[in-house]
A and B are shown apart, each in its own frame.
Chain A
């Protein structure tokens, strides 16, 4: 029996399977062309791009923490124009489905980057990074305010017909409200979560372990919180969700799918195992066969709450 792994993530974009390389964890994709056949991934979300080149933060840029890692890369990047000229052609040639993760210090910058991508050949979707915790201006600044989220999404919506996927930050109290705000402003789908703002200290030197003092936590440590957030968003909005946070194998991915994500992204796990992609599709296929499902869409949002209460409200979780 062959199962159908394809998923429709909104805006008219169908992926061959639900596994997407997470932004910032897969370079510009071309770095991995020797290791994996890029056309076998559902999509590749490339490193966040501004209008211009950026140097990012000085080292130390990462530190490992229990079952996770902190990063403060600071969005080092080549800028959108060089990306279009130098990276898109080889990505196209290899048949990669490219999601471009875009950033801005101002709303105008987001719109300008989106406009350039809209004109380029070989961009499948725009992932709007309003959630990077590692930059002073832009990023999470927009993603932490409902008005900011609405304004950026609406401004970019005006300049592009590409599928538009705002990426939400988990560093808010009610993530579902942000999913709804993004939808209202014209998002085709939302992706979540970006990293959790965090910090680690070297007790011997009493210095922060990252040059930027704080960084974003990713990896298995955040997975249960990320799953909870996808569940909350699923209840609030009906646009497709792309879930992520600490997915290390097919079972982890299934948690997100069952909670209501149509597709998932895998970031930190790709550092541990760059050959993970074939294992993810094999694991998912095996699961679907075992459960007698013909398509991955059958498992999406299939969370069985029949033996539970409607689920705790945030207030109940505090008691």
Chain B
């Protein structure tokens, strides 16, 4: 059951000129959120911008006693709301509605888990990594970004026991080029019988490529899509994704209710919109 919290900004850590991590005092949402779920956020009460925007829950924040005190968002500046979220100071207020959407289905041993992230697509994987660690699942993060300076929170993932496979567009760290390259090597290296669960979040072409690559190796991928959302609750039908299930014709399903996590092979990628 989603709740709406008028959350105080606890912290704002700028990671680069475009990325920041915003801590929000929304413990009720944080405690209930499952990996892959999202919140609908609106800084300020005015009519411009009018609508909330969807964000993954990046981290669940706890105090020293282990009590949940809030959640954080990994924010990338691309427009009016993300610009505002980049500039907020502690003490500011943000309306935060959640948790929403269908979560990832976490792997269980002996399955291993591979998370594939591109850019801000890292956001849903921190909470997933925490859940995987609690289940004792061996996890790897394949993570691509524009440059070494935009590969964030590597230490946090290492501390969770996650192995890292990095790639950058400019070759400043890891593989030079797309994150699909180290993923392909790993898929080749892994025997077809080894149980594996794959997750991907990032730019649409990247998620599509990962889905196809994994499929070629007989693997499924859970992708977390980023459709534009008007309400996040199933009210507006703005967020639809064309999905083909059981060989039927494609149907538009609401990403905020049936997603944002989908089996990549059921997504009709050409019909997702300009993005």
**A residues touching B (Cβ–Cβ < 8 Å)?**
24-27, 31-32, 34-35, 47, 55-56, 58-64, 66-69, 71, 73, 76, 205, 207, 211, 219-220, 248, 268, 270-275
Contact = CB atoms under 8 A, between A and B. Distances in A.
A271 B40 CA distance: 10
B234 A27 contact: yes
Nearest to A223: B47
B17 to A, nearest CB: 20
B48 A61 contact: no
B234 A31 contact: yes
Nearest to B241: A59
Given A55-B252, A271-B231, A73 B236 contact: yes
A35 B3 CA distance: 8
B2 A272 contact: no
Contact of A59 (B51, B97, B227): B227
B193 interface: no
A205 B234 CA distance: 30
A246 B233 CA distance: 20
Given A35-B2, A268-B50, A274-B97, A62 B235 contact: no
Given A47-B237, A248-B47, 20 more contacts: A24-B237, A26-B235, A31-B233, A31-B234, A32-B234, A59-B227, A59-B272, A60-B228, A60-B273, A61-B228, A62-B236, A62-B238, A63-B228, A64-B50, A67-B50, A73-B238, A271-B231, A271-B235, A272-B52, A274-B235
A73 B239 CA distance: 10
12 contacts: A27-B234, A32-B233, A59-B227, A67-B47, A73-B237, A73-B238, A211-B274, A220-B50, A271-B52, A271-B230, A272-B42, A273-B95
B47 A64 contact: no
B240 A56 contact: yes
Given A34-B2, A67-B48, A69-B50, A274 B233 contact: yes
A275 B242 CA distance: 30
B257 interface: yes
B49 interface: yes
A35 B252 contact: no
B263 interface: no
B134 interface: no
Contacts of A58: 242, 252, 271, 273
B235 A60 contact: no
A219 B47 contact: yes
B48 to A, nearest CB: 5
A55 B228 contact: no
Interface string B231-261: 1011111111110000000011000010000
Most buried by A among B42, B230, B239, B242: B230
B228 A59 contact: yes
A66 B51 CA distance: 11
Interface string B1-39: 110100000000000000000000000000000000000
A252 B50 CA distance: 16
Most buried by A among B2, B52, B228, B238: B238
B1 to A, nearest CB: 5
Given A27-B234, A61-B238, A62-B236, A271 B48 contact: no
B235 A31 contact: yes
Contact of B240 (A35, A76, A220, A248): A76
Interface string B197-241: 000000000000000000000000000000110110111111111
